[in-house]
Amino acid sequence: MTIKASGICSRILTPKQVGPICWFMAAFVAMFYSQRSRRKLLNVSHTWNKNKRLFTLLKQLLDDKYLKVESRESEDYEKFRDDTFGEVLSLLNKEDSKAFPYNPKTVSGGFNPEFYIGKLYKWLGVDYKLFDYNLSDNHLFYHFSNEELSSIEYRIEKRRVNIYLYDNKIFKYEDKYMAAPPILMVLVRDDKVTTDFNKAQFPHTLIPDGDTKTNLTSLKEKIYYHGIEYNLDSVILANWNKKKIGHAIAGISCKKKKYIYNGWTRTSMDPAMIDKAITRNIPCELMPYDWNIKKHGDFCLNSKKCIPDILKTKKETRKVDLCFNFSKGKRVLVYVRKDPMRETSIEKDDDYDNVERGFAKTKSYHSSPKKKASPKKCPDGKVLNPATGRCILIKNAAKAAKAKATIKDVKDVKDKNKDVIKKLKASPKKCPDGKVLNPATGRCILIKNAAKAGIATKTVKDVKDVIKKPNTSPKKCPDGKVLNPATGRCILIKNAAKAGIATKPVKDVKDVIKKPKTSPKKPSVPSVEMSVFSYVSKTYVNEIIFIKLDNKVYIEIEITDNDSLTSEDRMMEILMPFDELMKNKYLKKYYELSLMAIGKPNIDPKYTDPEYYKDDDHQKYYHLIDTIFIVENDDKTMVAKKGNSYRHFNLDKLRKKRVADAGSIAAFNTNYYDRFGIDDTTFANVLANYTALVNKIKY
């Protein structure tokens, strides 16, 4: 039966989110459910390896789990097991852990959809390009996660995926070398720090003014790249308001209408839904919503009614946990290339009926006759191999049963001309001094080895004569070394006597050895500065640890003895450039306070850390760090103490470790402010109080 267009979109079987994987669910729905992207995947799905569990699972999700049958909602949703998408993530990780680091079995917490969606498109056979657009300064970059840069390394540390970036100052984005891929994505954000980071780490990825930049930064629903039309198909959207826990949703297209996907259910176990009481155990159907990426209003998700609630005032916005806006905050715009030979928008109802039967109907088109191909031209130094149609090096032409030729001698391969390639007399190869040509291999070998090779160009006697001839310009050796004429190499003076060098009497050599020699410079080790600021109350302890290694600093913030916090909320850590710490007006002040403890004696023995580790094998990793304690008494008065504490750090690893990327630093700063931030006036008063207390310490 043919379903009317208005009814089909309401019958889409929305997948439910189980666990903190909203970032992946939003990306997956944008890829597999939004109309144009879905068509691209349907077109390539026949190439997927049916012998692999991952491909068969994705094929089932694409075909069999797309539309539900009316009036049997609950049965249809049973098609999605609670671990369906956890299994997808695990299988992706098993296939390629370098590209897909997230494994729900070893990782907790969220991740960034922009690092997965492009790689997943590529892995499924659909090429892509990702650009990074900063609204605040109108800078557009070719994103560092694109395959040409190979700049990302993922590491699983403390059940989190940490991102390490390697700078790439060689790759240069040039339009003329770029093809128009099926999928074009633009990561939109408002973050000046990202621009500074990209300029420093990937300076040649900045897109100059021109058609490419004008189109990709226009925020229009129809854009052009290399003259080819692209249409906005979906948006992966994060909440824009600053909260401890974020959430990602997707705006998708269906039958040229717009909808919102959110996979929450009562049993979703998403941290963002802990305090919501929902009685329905299935995800909401697609929510009709005419989203606009250029001009839109704030809204929140009404998980009970499965509709977006429009927020009209700032007061309303402040009351809700998660605020969204398609024209605000971080978002990924997914554009799909328009194929003139195929309708990519799934306009006909019979396409949906065929999907229900497990396949998509394809259309045949008559192509225009191809023009006769002109003979391929090869660059200088290469000739065309008629057997393969490829250009090969002239020196390899003989091996391919062809004579060597220049490009001007190659005319028309398809005319089967016997004189396609003209023979050229190769000029003899010239060898450097001390070597002769071995005609059997065409390589230069040492003269002393020529006799063994039986070279025909010289008799063995001639070769030996050459060996005996003194070098007209003797090799000069650096101070502390002499020339060994037997090998032609410089050796240490102290070894000259053993080698029986004829250039100096042994007595002279020994005299030289007795001369004092300057010791070589040892490689410099980055200077280390360690300090701690600690606030101690009756209910909790808040500690901030700073380890500065030259131009970078490791920061660890830990809250102990607070049962209301999860293990993840108890600790934050990051390795960032020292300059970034100086930009954080809050942490900078705590860092400066902690420095006031360095080198000072401990007056109160109570604040000398009793935990001293006696494990000799790991003793080098424990460090006694000077600490400033702000202690809150029972009567709420405070006093400052100077003490110390033992901390476990592998400084060698920290020295080798790369600093976090700009996005991770921004997320760390935001997370810190959400947990500990106060208004500037209050902070100034608190800091002044702490400083006065520290200055009162009598040493």
Q: Where are the domains of the chain?
A: 5-343, 374-427, 528-695
Class of domain 5-343: alpha beta
pLDDT class of 144 with cuts at 50, 70, 90: very high
Region class of 257: left (phi > 0), else alpha (psi between -120 and 50), else beta: beta
Joined together, the tokens standing for residue 648 give: 């476990």
Most confident of 17-26, 486-495, 612-621: 17-26
Sign of the dihedral defined by the CA atoms of residues 120, 5, 288, 334, in that order: positive
**Torsion angle of alpha carbons 586, 587, 592, 597, nearest 10°?**
130
Compute CA distances 516 → 198, 437, 480, 498, 499, whole Å.
51, 45, 10, 20, 22
**Torsion angle of alpha carbons 247, 248, 251, 254, nearest 10°?**
-110
Strand ranges in 299-408 using DSSP code E only, listed in sequence order = 299-302, 307-310, 331-337, 382-385, 390-393
Instruction: Name every residue whose Cβ is closer than 8 Å to that of residue 204 and which is 6 or more positions away in sequence.
Output: 169, 170, 171, 172, 173
pLDDT for 177 beyond 80 = yes
- Of the two residues 365 and 69, the one the predictor is more confident about is 69
Residue whose token pair is 């080098």: 620
Tens of pLDDT, residues 343-397: 444 444 434 434 433 333 333 333 334 444 556 778 877 888 877 778 887 777 7
Q: How many CA atoms lie within 13 A of 95 on its CB side?
A: 17
Q: Name the CA radius of gyration of the chain, rounded.
A: 35
Tens of pLDDT, residues 266-302: 444 444 544 544 444 566 777 888 888 887 677 777 6
Tens of pLDDT, residues 11-21: 777 777 777 88
Is residue 156 within 8 A of residue 101, CB to CB? The reply is yes
Please give the model's pTM, rounded to 2 decimal places: 0.51
Q: Percent of the chain having pLDDT more than 70?
A: 67
| DSSP letters for 185-226 | EEEEE--HHHHHHHHHH-GGGBPPSSHHHHHHTS--SEEEET
Instruction: Name every residue whose Cβ is closer than 8 Å to that of residue 371 and which is 6 or more positions away in sequence.
Output: none
Question: 550: helix, coil or strand?
Answer: coil
Joined together, the tokens standing for residue 420 give: 């396609």
